[in-house]
Amino acid sequence: MTKQVLAKENVILNAKVSSKEEAIKKAGQLLVDGGYVDPSYVDKMFEREEITSTYMGNLIAIPHGTEDAKESVLASGISILQIPEAIDFGNGNEVKVVFGIAGKNNEHLEILSQIAILCSEMENVEKIVNATSEDELLALFSEVE
């Protein structure tokens, strides 16, 4: 059975995080808990962040592991933290939605493009930030496919 890349269990609404580090750790832990990655993957997410920020603009960040983190990935998965009380993701960049991403082979590229399409419009980002249930948030992604 193939794991669902974006499952309801991978979403945290109204996440209470006070820093970029805490957000990355929480997004990574969701991927670990879901069986998508080994715990070592979370360290690779921090390494990636040191190389280059995963802040994307439009209140979005997509932390993910470095190139050499591939062996830590068991299955492609995405976690989503909805953070209505924006956090500073460095350089004064505010973030309200964090997508933790783990890709097996190149499966995550498809996911990334869907996120990019959806989040390129601020109106959609607002919908994600204001979603009141996991189902409502996940429905936004099914509209893209």
Q: 120 is in which domain, residue-wise?
A: 8-142
pLDDT tens track for 30-77: 999 999 999 999 999 999 999 999 999 999 999 999 989 989 999 999
Residues in contact with 110: Cβ distance below 8 Å, sequence separation at least 6, in sequence order: none
Residues in contact with 61: Cβ distance below 8 Å, sequence separation at least 6, in sequence order: 20, 23, 53, 54, 55, 89, 95, 97, 98, 99
- The answer to whether residue 1 is domain-embedded is no
- The answer to whether residue 87 is domain-embedded is yes
Would you call 108 a catalytic residue per the annotation? no
Identified catalytic residue from 44, 48, 64, 96: 64
pTM of the model: 0.94
pLDDT tens track for 91-143: 999 999 999 999 888 776 777 788 889 999 999 999 999 999 999 999 987 76
- The answer to whether residue 3 is domain-embedded is no
CA dihedral over 73, 120, 9, 49, signed as positive or negative: positive
Q: How many domains does the chain have?
A: 1
For residue 18, what is the domain's CATH number?
A: 3.40.930.10
- The answer to whether residue 88 is domain-embedded is yes
Q: Whats the size of the chain, residue-wise? A: 145
Give the Cα separation of 36 and 55 in Å (integer). Answer: 22
